[in-house]
Every structure is written in C-alpha cells, then in structure tokens.
Structure 1
Amino acid sequence: MSGARITLYTRPGCHLCDDARRVIEDVCAEVGAAYDEVSIADDPDLERRFGHEIPVTFVDGRQHDFFRVDPARLRAALTG
C-alpha cells in the first residue's frame, strides 16, 4: 500500500489530466499528502469505468471529482 490519499486516473495526452495533476501536486505540497497516478490507457475495465470522465480523482477511496479539480474543495477533503 502506497499510503497515498489521492488517486488520479488519467490518459496520456489529456490536457485536463495535466491541469488536474498540477492542482493535485500543489495541494499535496501544501498539506503534506501523497497521490498516485493511474493511466486507464491499458486497462479495459478502467477505460469502461472512467473513459468519458477523465481525469477522475479519488480521495481516501471515494470518487471526489472528474474533469476538473477544485483546489479549495480538494484541500478541504484532505484537511477536514
């Protein structure tokens, strides 16, 4: 187990994924949290599940956001 509280599901070449990653990295640096990134590109089950919502963010195992990551909302989820 990695200990990461956030999982970011992405796809290569996705500009929204790049944006989400930057927000997550910034918030993680502020609050001392870790994140894992998982590409759905080579996993048919993940592609079926998240293919139309990428990027998808989970916090503590629960879906938190998709498409965009709001930094204030993410910060609140990690510190609240």
Structure 2
Amino acid sequence: MKTQPALTLYLRYGCSLCDEMLAALRPLQQELGFYLDIVEVEEEPALEQRYGTRVPVLTSPQGELCQYFLDEERVRRYFAAL
C-alpha cells in the first residue's frame, strides 16, 4: 500500500497570513492528494521557541518549503520529484 505524501503547516490561529496560506493550500491539496498536518505553534513551547512569529511555515519531511506565503511552484516541484 502506497503511503499518502504529507506536508506540515505550522501556524497560529487568528493569524491572517496563516489563514491565507491554508486557504491557498486547500485546492492544491485536493489536486495533488497530500495529507496536510496543521500544527498550532502556541500549543508546544518548543515550537513556539523555534518559530516565534515566523509563521506560517510549510514543511515536508525533507525540510522547509516556504514561509509567510505559499510558494505553489516549489510545492509542485517537491511532489513532482517524489
């Protein structure tokens, strides 16, 4: 059985940039069929310290794909390389 590829979006609830990236990711998620793990950084002190106000951040298992704004082309290149 093939595992569904996954990305993680680190965000803060109530953050307008975070809301915008999440909204931009949804159609891409439907098209490319990846799982999106959404993590609120304020719920974990280590994440709060790591990301601070540098959210939203979209990551793959190989590392960071983009921050603040969705880099759709980079996400597409990431999935094309899988």
TM bin, normalised by shorter chain, reads 0.7 to 0.9
State the TM-score, normalizing by the size of structure 2: 0.84
Residues in 2 aligned to 1:60 and 1:3: alpha-carbon distance in whole angstroms: 13
* Percentage of matched positions with identical amino acids: 29
What is the distance in 2 between the residues matched to 1:13 and 1:4? 27
- For residue 60 of structure 1, report the CA deviation from its aligned partner: 2.3
TM-score of the two chains, using structure 1 as the length reference: 0.86
- The 5 Å alignment of 1:20-59 reads 20-59=21-60
Q: How large is the Cα RMSD of the aligned pairs?
A: 1.7
Greater radius of gyration (CA): 2
The SS at the match of 1:41 is helix
Q: Which runs of 5 or more structure 1 residues have no equivalent in the other structure?
A: none
Structure 2's unaligned 5+ residue stretches are none
The size of the alignment, in residue pairs, is 79
